[in-house]
Amino acid sequence: MTKEDCQKLVIDIIADIAPDEDLSAIKPEIRLRDQLQLDSMDFLDIVMELRKRHGIEVPEADYSHLASLESCAEYLTPKFSTKA
Amino acid sequence: MGRADPIFYLAATRGASERIASPPEVKDSHYDVAIIGAGMSGLAAGIRLAHFGKKVCIFERHNAAGGLNGFYSFAGRKYDVGLHALTNYVSPGVKGTPLGKLLRQLRIDRDEFALCPQKQSRIAFRDCALKFTNEFSVLDAEVVGKFPAQAAGWRALVQLVRTYDDVALDAQPRSAREVVSRHLTDPLLTDMIFCPVMYYGSAQERDMDFGQFVIMFKALYLEGFARPLDGVRVILRVLLEKFRQAGGERRMQCGVAQIKEAQGRVAQLVLDNGEEITASQVISSVGFAETMNLCVPPQTQAAAANTGNLSFVETISVFRRQPAEWGWGDDTIIFFNDAERFEYVHAREQVDLRSGVICFPNNFDYAGRNLSEGIFRVTCLANYARWAQLPEEIYQADKQRWFPEVVRSAQRFLPVVAPEVLAEAQLATDMFTPRTIKKFTGHLNGAIYGSPRKIRDGRTHLSNLYLCGTDQGFLGIIGAMLSGISMANYHVLQGSTRG
C-alpha cells in the first residue's frame, strides 16, 4: 500500500462519518481539525472505523498521529503493510 | 466537542477507566453491554455500541420504545407522550451543534428525521411578552427593546452562554440564578428567561445548575424548535431501524428487575421473568434513584437523597379546526406565567395553575402540509403524591375536574374564543398526570426530568455500571441521545482503544 492509498482510505472513513463536510480540497499537510469541523467524537470514530474496516489498532497514546492526512499516512501505512 | 473536547480530555486527566476482560466462558446470555431502557438515550447508546461490533442488548419493560418520549394510540389517534418540540434545531449546514454531532455519531441522514421548524414562540407573562423564533436575533431584539436598561447585561449573559463549556463531563454544579443575577438585575426579565429553560428541563426547584441552564438556553434560544409532521415516532423509527441494522438485540416487555453486585461490580442482571444474564458493562437509562433501587444489595439511601419531585399534568384537546382559524395565531409554544414572580416549584395542590406551557403542534412549518386536526396541549406543574394516592374513581373524577381548569388557565394567554365554539369543534381529549408518568416510565414521583443532582460522568458505585439519559444531565431529546452516545463512547468504546 502506498501512502496515497492510505490517505484515500482515511478520506473514505471521514466521508462516512462526516458526510456534511466537503472533502474535495483537503490539504494533506494541514491539520484536519483546521480544515474540517471535526471534534473528538469524530476522531474516536476514525479510530473505531480503522479497527472495524481494516483491523488496524490505534492505541489512545497514538491519536496525535491522526492529526493530518500526511501524518495519518505516515503512521498507518506501515501498519497496513504489516497486516498484509 | 469543539473547544471543550470532554470525551478525550477526561480520559487524559482522570486516568484510564478499567479495561474489560471477557470471562473465559462466554455464554449466549452474556453481553458485552446490557442497556436498561429503550428510550432515546438507551437506543442511541445501543446504536453506537452495535455499530462498532459490541454484543449489545437493550432491555425494555414496556412493549413500546421511547420512554419519556414515546407515543401511544388512544381511540384511533396517535399521541406523542413527551414531545412538544424537538429542541436544538438548527438549519441544514450549521455545524458544530448537538444536532449535527448526533446525526454524525449515529450515521443518520438529516432528512430521515424530517424535521420541520417552528413558526414562532412566546414567553407570555402578565404584563409582558417576548417573542422568539429559530432566529436568535428576534429574541435579542425583543429583550433589548422591552428591557433597554438590561441590554448590556443581556448581551454579556449571551456571550457567556455561547462560550461556556456546557458539555464537560467533569463540570462542578453552580447556581444558575447566581450567575445570571450578575448580568440581569430586572426580576421580570430574569423570570421570563428562566421560565422556558426550567419548564423544558429543570429537575430542580427554583434554581438549576448553570451548566444545565446553558444547555437549555442554547437548545431553546440560540438553536430552536422543530418537529416531524408525524411526531416523535418518526425519530424512534429511525433509531430502532439503525439499531437493528447494526446488529443490536432488543428485548421488549422484559425489564431488569435486579442488578446484583459482587466485588464492586455488576455480577448479574435479573430480568422481570426471573432469567439471569451477565454483561461486561451495564448502561442504565432509567434514572439515578431508579437504578439504585434495582441494586442488590439496595442503595436506598443514595436513591432517597437524590430523587426528583417535579412532575406535570398535560391536557390534550383535539379539534376539527386548526387553532389559527380562531385567531390563536402562529405560536408554536407559549410559556406562560400569571404570578407576581415565576415560581418553578413542587406543586402544593394537585396542579399549579399559575404558570404552564401551551403547545400547538399545528404551528410548525410543515412546508404546505399540516396535521389534519387541531391539537392544543397544555402542561402545568403537578403534585405526584396528591394524584398517586387517590382511589381510581376519585382519580378519574379529579382528572375531569382539573382538565377544564388547566385549559382555562392557558386560555388567559390566547385571544378569547367562546366556549361553545370550542366545544362544538372538539373531537377528543386526553390528559396525563404524574401518576400516568410513573406508571409508563417508572420515573419515581413522575419526575420527568429525574434527579435534581446530575451525574455528568455517568459513574456509579459499581465500576461497570453507568448512567445515561435524564440523570446524566444532557437535556431534551437531542440531549438524551447525546447522553447515550457520550456514555457509550467514554465508558465502552474509548476504553477499548486504550493501549
pLDDT tens digits for range A14-24? 999 999 999 99
* B314-337 pLDDT, tens digit each: 999 999 999 999 999 999 999 999
The Cα B139–Cα B142 span in angstroms is 5
> What average pLDDT does range A77-81 have in this prediction?
93
Q: What structural domains does chain A harbor?
A: 3-83 (1.10.1200.10)
Asked if the Cβ–Cβ distance from A40 to B1 is below 8 Å, we say yes
CB pairs under 8 A between A and B: 64
The Cα B247–Cα B32 span in angstroms is 13
pLDDT of amino acid B28: 73
pLDDT of amino acid A15: 96
The answer to whether B409 and B337 have CB atoms below 8 angstroms apart is: no
Asked if the Cβ–Cβ distance from B499 to A57 is below 8 Å, we say yes
> What average pLDDT does range B61-70 have in this prediction?
92
Asked if the Cβ–Cβ distance from B497 to A19 is below 8 Å, we say no
* A28-70 pLDDT, tens digit each: 999 999 999 999 999 999 999 999 999 999 998 999 999 999 9
Asked if the Cβ–Cβ distance from B96 to A39 is below 8 Å, we say yes
β-sheet bridge partners, residue B428: B318
Above 90 in pLDDT, residue B5?
no
Asked if the Cβ–Cβ distance from A59 to B8 is below 8 Å, we say no
Q: In terms of Cα–Cα distance, which of B239, B274, B248, B247 is closest to B260?
A: B274
The answer to whether B309 and B378 have CB atoms below 8 angstroms apart is: no
Measured between CA atoms, how close is A2 to chain B, in angstroms?
A: 25
Rounded mean pLDDT of chain B? 93
The residue of A16, A17, A39, A62 whose CB has the most chain B CBs within 10 angstroms, and thus the best one to mutate to test that interface, is A39
Cis before B391? omega within 30: no
pLDDT of amino acid B276: 96
> What average pLDDT does range B201-228 have in this prediction?
96
Q: What is the DSSP string of B373-438?
A: SEEEEEEEEE-HHHHHTS-HHHHHHHHHHHHHHHHHHHHTTS----HHHHHHHEEEEEEE-HHHHH
> Does residue A1 or residue B149 have the better pLDDT?
B149
Cα–Cα distance list, B206 to A48, B202, B341, B363, B485 (Å): 43, 9, 11, 30, 30
> What average pLDDT does range B419-435 have in this prediction?
95
Strands B331-337 and B120-125: parallel
> What average pLDDT does range B456-468 have in this prediction?
97
pLDDT of amino acid B3: 38
Within 10 A of B261 (CB to CB), how many other CB atoms are there? 18
Asked if the Cβ–Cβ distance from A44 to B2 is below 8 Å, we say no
* B113-169 pLDDT, tens digit each: 999 999 999 999 999 999 999 999 999 999 999 999 999 999 999 999 999 988 888
pLDDT bucket at B171, cuts 50 / 70 / 90: confident
> Does residue B16 or residue B34 have the better pLDDT?
B34
Residues 25-64 of B with CB under 8 A from A: 52-53
Asked if the Cβ–Cβ distance from B8 to A57 is below 8 Å, we say no
pLDDT of amino acid A68: 96
**Which of B52, B53, B499 is opposite residue A59, by nearest beta carbon?**
B499
Q: Return the exposure string of B8-22: e unless at least 16 CB atoms fall within 10 Å of the residue's CB, then b.
A: bbbbeeeeebeebee
Q: In terms of Cα–Cα distance, which of A63, A73, A68, A71 is closest to A34?
A: A68
Nearest-by-CA chain B residue for A53: B52
Provide the percentage of residues in chain B whose pLDDT is more than 90.
Answer: 87
* B279-318 pLDDT, tens digit each: 999 999 999 999 999 999 999 999 999 999 999 999 999 9
Above 50 in pLDDT, residue B213?
yes
Asked if the Cβ–Cβ distance from A44 to B95 is below 8 Å, we say no
A18: chain B residues, CB-CB within 8 Å: 104
pLDDT of amino acid B168: 82
**Which of A18, A42, A60 is opposite residue B497, by nearest beta carbon?**
A60
The Cα B486–Cα B475 span in angstroms is 13
Residue B451 has φ and ψ, to the nearest 5°, of: -80, 145
Residue B104 contacts A where some CB pair is shorter than 8 Å: yes
pLDDT of amino acid B365: 98
* B235-257 pLDDT, tens digit each: 999 999 999 999 999 999 999 99
